[in-house]
Amino acid sequence: MELNEKDLAADLPEEETARQYHYIEKARKLVQAMGEAAGRPMTFYVETFGCQMNARDSEKLRGILLAMGYVQGETEKADFVVYNTCTVRENANKRVYGRLGKLKRLKKENPHMRIALCGCMTQEPQVVERLEKSYRFVDLIFGTHNIFRFAQLVCQMLEADDQVVEVWEGTDQIVEDLPAQRKYPFRSGVNIMFGCDNFCSYCIVPYVRGRERSRSPEAIIEEIRRLVDDGVVEVMLLGQNVNSYGKTLAQSVSFAQLLARIEKIPGLRRIRFMTSHPKDLSDELIAVMASSDKICRHLHLPVQSGSTRILEKMHRRYTKESYLSLTEKIKAAIPDIALTTDIIVGFPGETEEDFQHTLDVVRQVRYSSAFTFQYSKRSGTPAAAMADQVPADVVQDRFDRLLETVQAIARQECARWEGTTGQVLVEQVDRQDDRLLTGRLGNNLLVHFPGDLSLIGRIVDVHLTACRGFYYMGEMI
C-alpha cells in the first residue's frame, strides 16, 4: 500500500482536473479487481434529495462513477450507493436518516457494498458528528466544496478500513471539465455560478454552499458548445441567483449579456435558467428575453411572501409593490410568459394580514405553478432565533388555503393555451400509455400526444387539443 502511494505521488499531475482523471484511472483498476472477485460487474446508485443544482452535482458523480467502470444500477441494491443530500428544510434531513437505516440492512446482505453521503447536509458539523458517532456503516462522507475530489475520495474509501470523512468549510476553486452523465441525451443543466451571498434570514444555502462565484463566460459557452455537439438542444443554466451572475468576475459580465452570447450558439434550440432573485432582475434581462428566439417563455421568480413587512424580516430586499410592478413589466414585455414561484408560509411573526398579502400577490400575478413550503426552522440562520414562531396548526391552515388558491389559478393559466399550437420538446414515451409521447412546451407545461419513439429529443409542433388540469393532450401537426 505504501509503495502504491509513492508510485502514484511520483506521476501525480498538479493540475486539479488531470489529478482527478488520474484517480479515476486508479479507481478503474480497483473496481475491476472487485468485479473479478465478485464474478459480476460492480454497480452504483446515486440518489438526489435536493434542488436542480444538487441534481446536476449527481450527474457529475454518475459521470465519474461510469468512467471508473461502475455500472449504473436501478435501485439501492447496488455495490456503491451515494446519497446526495439537501438540508434546506428539516424534513429533507429526516428523510435521509430514515433511508440510511434501510441501507444498513442492505449492507449486511452485500459484503461489497459501500455507502457515501454528500451534499448540503454534510456541510453541517452536527450532521457529520452524528454520522461519525452513530452511522459508522457510512463509508465516505464529503461536502459540497470538495465534490470535485470525488474520484480521489473514492480511491481512499476503497483502500480504507474505516470511515473516510472530508468536508471543507469553503472554497474559491472551480474545477472544470470533469465527466458528467445526463438524464436525457438532449437536455442538460449547466452551472453558471456556485454559492449564494444573499443570506435570506430563513435559508441555510449560503452556509452550506459558500460564497457566490461565477464561472467565466468562455468556460460556460465552451461547455454548451460541446454539449450541443453531443446532441443537446436545451440547456438549463443553474445558479441560486442567476441575476447576479458575473459580479465576482474580473471582467464584469451581466447575466443578460451572458444569455445574449449563449443565444448565438448554433444548434442550441432552447435556453432555460433558474433561479432568478426579484431584487436583481434587470430591464436588460427582460429586453433580452423579449427579443430572444431561444429563451423559453418561463420565469421562476420566487416571491416567498407577499407581505412587505415579512419580506423585510426575510431579508429579501424587495417589497410587495416592487415585486408586483416587476411582474407587470415582465408580462407587458413578454405577454406569453409563464411565471412560477416559491412561497413560504408561517415565517416567524407572520399574521393573518401578512398571509392575505401573499394570497393577494398569488391572485394578481397568476402563477402557472408554485412550490409552497411550510417554514422550517434551520438552526444557524437568523430566523431560527426569532421569537414569534407561528404555531403548527395555524401554518397548516394557511398552507391549505394557499395551495387551494394556487391550484385554482394554475388550472386557469394552464387552460389559456387550449386550441393553440405549441413547440414541444419530446422527452419520452408516456409512462401511462406507450402509444403516447410526453414532451414539454417552452412555458414548461407537459403535453401528451400520439407519436413514435423516433421523435424523442426533437422539437415538434403540437396542437393543444384539451387541457387536463395541469397538462395537455395534443395532436402533432
376 binds, among ligand F3S, ligand SAH, ligand SF4, none (CB under 5 to 8 A by kind): ligand SAH
Confirm or reject binding of residue 373 to ligand SAH (CB under 6 A).
yes
Confirm or reject binding of residue 87 to ligand F3S (CB under 6 A).
yes
Confirm or reject binding of residue 208 to ligand F3S (CB under 6 A).
yes
- Closest to ligand SF4 by CB, 52 vs 181, is 52
Confirm or reject binding of residue 274 to ligand SF4 (CB under 6 A).
no
Closest separation in Å from C-beta 354 to ligand SF4 = 18
206 binds, among ligand SAH, ligand SF4, ligand F3S, none (CB under 5 to 8 A by kind): ligand SF4
Phi, psi of 475 (to 5 degrees): -135, 130
Which of 56, 209, 320, 398 lies at the binding interface for ligand F3S (CB under 6 A)?
209
Count Cβ atoms below 10 Å from residue 468 Cβ, excluding itself: 12
Closest separation in Å from C-beta 238 to ligand SAH = 10
Confirm or reject binding of residue 199 to ligand SF4 (CB under 6 A).
yes
Which of 84, 201, 304, 368 lies at the binding interface for ligand SAH (CB under 6 A)?
304
The three cell numbers locating residue 20: 482527478
Closest separation in Å from C-beta 120 to ligand F3S = 3
Site for ligand SAH in 237-276 (CB under 6 A): 240-241, 275
Confirm or reject binding of residue 338 to ligand F3S (CB under 6 A).
no
Contacts by residues 438-443 (CB-CB < 8 Å, ≥ 24 positions apart): 441/417, 441/472, 442/270, 442/296, 442/297, 442/298, 443/296, 443/297, 443/298, 443/336, 443/337, 443/338, 443/368, 443/417
Confirm or reject binding of residue 27 to ligand F3S (CB under 6 A).
no
Strand partners, 373: 344
Confirm or reject binding of residue 55 to ligand F3S (CB under 6 A).
no
Whether the CB-CB separation of 151 and 24 falls below 8 Å is answered with yes
Confirm or reject binding of residue 88 to ligand F3S (CB under 6 A).
yes
Confirm or reject binding of residue 313 to ligand F3S (CB under 6 A).
no
Binding mask 112-151 for ligand F3S (x = CB under 6 A): -------xx-------------------------------
Confirm or reject binding of residue 96 to ligand F3S (CB under 6 A).
no
Which of 46, 113, 120, 200 lies at the binding interface for ligand SF4 (CB under 6 A)?
200
Residues at the contact surface with ligand SAH, assessed by CB under 6 A: 88-89, 202-203, 205, 240-241, 275, 277, 302, 304, 342, 344, 373, 375-376, 378
Binding site for ligand SF4 (CB under 6 A): 196, 198-200, 203, 205-206, 240-241, 277
